[in-house]
Amino acid sequence: MRSTLSDCFSIDTLRNAARRRLPKGVFDFYDGGAEDEITLNDNCAAFRRVRLMPRVLRNVSNIDLSASLFERPMGLPLAISPTGAVGFGWRGGDIALARAAARFNIPYTLSTSATASIEEIADQAPGRHWFQAYILQDKARLHDLIERARVADYEGLMITVDLPVGGKRERDFVNGLAFPMKLTHRNIGQFVRKPLWSLNMLMKAPPTMPSLAGMKALSSDSKKMVSVAGRNYDPAFDLDGLKALRDRWPGKLIVKGVCHPQDVDAILAVGVDALAVSNHGGRQLDTSVATLDALPGIVRATAGRVPVLLDGGVRRGSDIVKALALGASGVMTGRATLFGVLAAGEAGVDQALLILQDELRRTMQLCGATRLADIDRGLLAAVDSHFSGATIT
């Protein structure tokens, strides 16, 4: 595995390593998006549309990458986004992600659909933890999960608001993917071609999703064109429901899935502590706006009242610089670190974070910025004309 990682010098090469290791249907589950995958691809393309305008003749021998969020220090302006079902790609993958996050002194977000429990993460990967809550129809279970996160001393509760119903991820339908995974005539050839993964995953007890264990609608049915999480989500959840959760949760409350500026004031009035601009990685509503394009409008609407995080499409250190220049307090990465853990477990997550750390430092040096506070719109070329038609006021 070391030789594999030594060849991984970018997030894209980690993605390729994960693809080589996993059966096609399993890799497609993590890599794919909704419908035509326009939003999935546009999240990354949005960063490529923005150009840097570097400053020169500055002393950049010492670069400070340290950041802070909620008045607590961070090693990087980055948090790991919630990613579900990781253990089906790498057994113990959720704990690997959390341990790597702790080493880099950044927050880790545990998904409701994770293959590790709230308590396992707290016990086996001490660090800065957030719990991402899907708004389940089973409110007793939802409230129990939130209480368990409080008892386990999680810093933040992240409410995902962009999933009233599940998206249509067609790669999964084509591959006949189901949880728990089973051998069928449609996938047996894929599993045979990946014997190491298959022996580990199919010959031992399969991973489980502890937070969702026992829910009747959990098993996937390819005839129903809706994601697993979507069938358990409450489409009636609204601002009143968010207020109720704010009253229930004493820690930091982060709302993830905001793209429209006109939603900001009502959400902040509830007493939210941070917003995450996100379109669920392009996995739910296809043709939704790229998150980098939506970011400036959310930053303007927020007007400094709470931190704004950018989630979606971050694959390079220069992407982090661009997000910060447009007003983000930091970024969240889902697939970048996910590809790392799928490729090589905990060492792969370390490699993903090292890549982003190195590229962020190098980009700042080449742009003449020695601190994160030096990164602003002045480092971007023609930024106003680029975003003039992409944001809603």
Whole-number Å distance between alpha carbons of 298 and 62: 32
Q: What is the mean pLDDT of residues 144-152?
A: 98
CATH of the domain at 10: 3.20.20.70
In a domain, 316, yes or no: yes
* Residue that wins the pLDDT comparison between 228 and 329: 329
* Residue that wins the pLDDT comparison between 127 and 391: 127
Whole-number Å distance between alpha carbons of 181 and 271: 41
Ranking 165-169, 261-265, 344-348 by mean pLDDT, the lowest is 165-169
What pLDDT band is residue 176 in, cutting at 50, 70 and 90?
A: confident
Q: What percent of the chain is modeled with pLDDT above 90?
A: 79
Determine which helix (DSSP H) or strand (DSSP E) holds 350, and give its type and residue range: helix 335-367
In a domain, 393, yes or no: no
Residue 237's domain comprises: 2-60+74-387
Tens digits of residue pLDDT in 72-117: 999 999 999 999 999 999 999 999 999 999 999 999 999 999 999 9
What pLDDT band is residue 2 in, cutting at 50, 70 and 90?
A: very low
In a domain, 317, yes or no: yes
Q: What is the mean pLDDT of residues 342-346?
A: 97
Predicted local distance difference test score (pLDDT) of residue 192: 73
- pLDDT greater than 60 at residue 221: no
Whole-number Å distance between alpha carbons of 317 and 357: 7
Contact present, 317 and 360 (Cβ < 8 Å): yes
- Which residues are identified as catalytic? 280
Predicted local distance difference test score (pLDDT) of residue 81: 98
User: Facing residues of 132 across strands?
Assistant: 158
Residues 6+ apart with CB under 8 A from 284: 34, 162, 163, 166, 167, 227, 230
In a domain, 67, yes or no: no
In a domain, 69, yes or no: no
Which of 112, 117, 116, 106 is closest to 155 using CA atoms? 106
User: Facing residues of 108 across strands?
Assistant: 80, 129
In a domain, 307, yes or no: yes
In a domain, 66, yes or no: no
Q: What is the mean pLDDT of residues 155-159?
A: 98
Tens digits of residue pLDDT in 112-133: 999 999 999 999 999 999 999 9
N-term to C-term CA, the chain:
49
Contact present, 178 and 251 (Cβ < 8 Å): no
Whole-number Å distance between alpha carbons of 184 and 172: 14
Whole-number Å distance between alpha carbons of 305 and 17: 41
What b/e string do you get for 124-146 counting C-beta neighbours within 10 Å, with b at 16 or more? ebebbbbbbbbbbbbeebbeebb
Q: What is the mean pLDDT of residues 147-166?
A: 95
What pLDDT band is residue 386 in, cutting at 50, 70 and 90?
A: low
In a domain, 205, yes or no: yes
Whole-number Å distance between alpha carbons of 314 and 292: 10
Whole-number Å distance between alpha carbons of 379 and 119: 43
Domain count within the chain: 1
Helix, strand, coil percent values for the chain (each to nearest 5): 45, 10, 40
Predicted local distance difference test score (pLDDT) of residue 227: 52
Predicted local distance difference test score (pLDDT) of residue 190: 77
Contact present, 224 and 262 (Cβ < 8 Å): no
- pLDDT greater than 80 at residue 162: yes
3-state DSSP assignment of residue 179: coil
Whole-number Å distance between alpha carbons of 327 and 292: 10
Predicted local distance difference test score (pLDDT) of residue 218: 45
- pLDDT greater than 60 at residue 222: no
Residues 6+ apart with CB under 8 A from 375: 321, 324, 325, 364, 367, 369
Predicted local distance difference test score (pLDDT) of residue 225: 41
What pLDDT band is residue 393 in, cutting at 50, 70 and 90?
A: very low
Task: Give Cα 250 distance to the centre of its chain.
Answer: 23
Predicted local distance difference test score (pLDDT) of residue 182: 65
Q: What is the mean pLDDT of residues 201-212?
A: 86
Ranking 24-28, 100-104, 230-234, 293-297 by mean pLDDT, the lowest is 230-234
State the average pLDDT for the chain: 91
Tens digits of residue pLDDT in 303-330: 999 999 999 999 999 999 999 999 999 9
